[in-house]
Amino acid sequence: MTVNSQIRTPLLQIADLVTRFGKFRALDGVSVEVGESQAIGLVGPNGSGKTTLVNTVCGLYPSASGSIHFAGTNLTGKRADIIAKAGINRTFQISKPFASLTVRENVEVAAHHARHPRDVDEVLEQTDLASHSRASASNLTAAQQKRLDLARALVMSPRLLFIDELAAGLTPNELQDVAAMLRNLVNDGVSLVVVEHLMGFLEQVVDGVYVLTAGQVIFRGPLRDALADDRVQEVFLGRNDSARS
């Protein structure tokens, strides 16, 4: 099963996206398609542009060229709140809670502005934050803050979620729980784009991967094939190893 074969009408269609920082092209013509209820992984070495892709699609950075279509609407260049209301949401590699609000208020404020808000308590339950709901968001651990990012996104009933390194720093048991939670989301009809370095974790969650390097997609397909691919290995293992082929 390739990434392609699953897609009939892609929910998200990113075409030839270019994002520049000065002259540097952090995204250099990236095309990605994500179908309904599909989970794809986004992998690549440090600095390859994974977070930049999330940031561009989610309205933090403007794109220099290319287009972003979601559920039949052109979201290219739209404001982040419009993108969020259209049904795209995200978590952050370095979480960004509202530090002066409580955990519950963090989720409530998103619910207030959502087009189709979910029940706040249910989302807190789902992300295992219910017992901290009255704590200040700034007093949470890093892992809890990442779950709070997720809760804030989930309460808005997104159709597509970008997950930027949720697994980093978790224990094996916690990893299992998070993987199961993400899989449940997909079963509930949410599409996922999961940025992750941990291949074992990705294997449990995603249907296929895109491999990014230097702002370009060099591979799309099942994770197993990616790991066996020469170019992908070269990118991940570095120049020294490429001599062996």
Partner 1 sequence: MSLSARRRPAVDEETKRPRWRGVVSPGMAVAIPVLVFLVAVHVYSNELLLVDMAIYIALAQGINIIYGFTGYLPFGYFGFFGVGAYVAGYGIVHLGLSGPLAALLGGLGGVVVGAVMLPLFRLKGAYFALTTLAVGEALYAIVSNPSLTSVTNGPYGLNLAAVYSSGWSFGMAVGLAAISILAVVLIKNSRYGMTLRAIRDDPYSASMAGINVARDRFYAWLIAAAIAGVGGAIYGWAISVFYPQDVFDVTVSVFAIVFALFGGIGTIWGPTLGAAVLYAVYNVVGVSNPQYFQLIYGLVIVLLVLFAPRGLAGIARYLHEHRPFVRSST
Ligand X SMILES: Nc1ncnc2c1ncn2[C@@H]1O[C@H](COP(=O)(O)OP(=O)(O)OP(=O)(O)O)[C@@H](O)[C@H]1O
Residues of the shown chain interacting with ligand X in the complex, contacts defined by CB under 6 A: 21, 26, 44, 46-52, 93
49 binds, among ligand X, Mg ion, partner 1, none (CB under 5 to 8 A by kind): ligand X
Q: Residue with structure tokens 């790991």?
A: 227
Least separation in angstroms between CB 29 and partner 1: 25
Does 91 engage in binding with Mg ion (CB under 5 A)?
Answer: no
- CB atoms under 10 Å from CB of 50, counted, come to 25
C-beta atoms surrounding 204 within 10 Å = 15
Among 38, 51, 133, 144, binds Mg ion (CB under 5 A): 51
The smaller minimum CB distance to partner 1, of residues 33 and 108, is found at 108
Burial class (CB in 10 A: 0-12, 13-18, 19+), 135: middle
Name which of Mg ion, ligand X, partner 1, none residue 116 binds, using a CB cut-off of 5 to 8 Å depending on partner kind.
none
Report whether 208 contacts 1 (CB < 8 A). Answer: yes
Could you tell me the smallest distance in angstroms from the CB atom of residue 79 to ligand X?
18
Q: Is 1 exposed, middle or buried (0-12, 13-18, 19+ CB in 10 A)?
A: exposed
Q: Shortest approach of Mg ion to residue 50 CB, angstroms? A: 5
Judged by CB under 5 A, which stretch of 43-51, 66-74, 143-151, 154-162 contacts Mg ion?
A: 43-51
Among residues 54 and 185, whose Cβ is nearest to Mg ion? 54
The residues of the shown chain that bind Mg ion, judged by CB under 5 A, are 50-51, 93
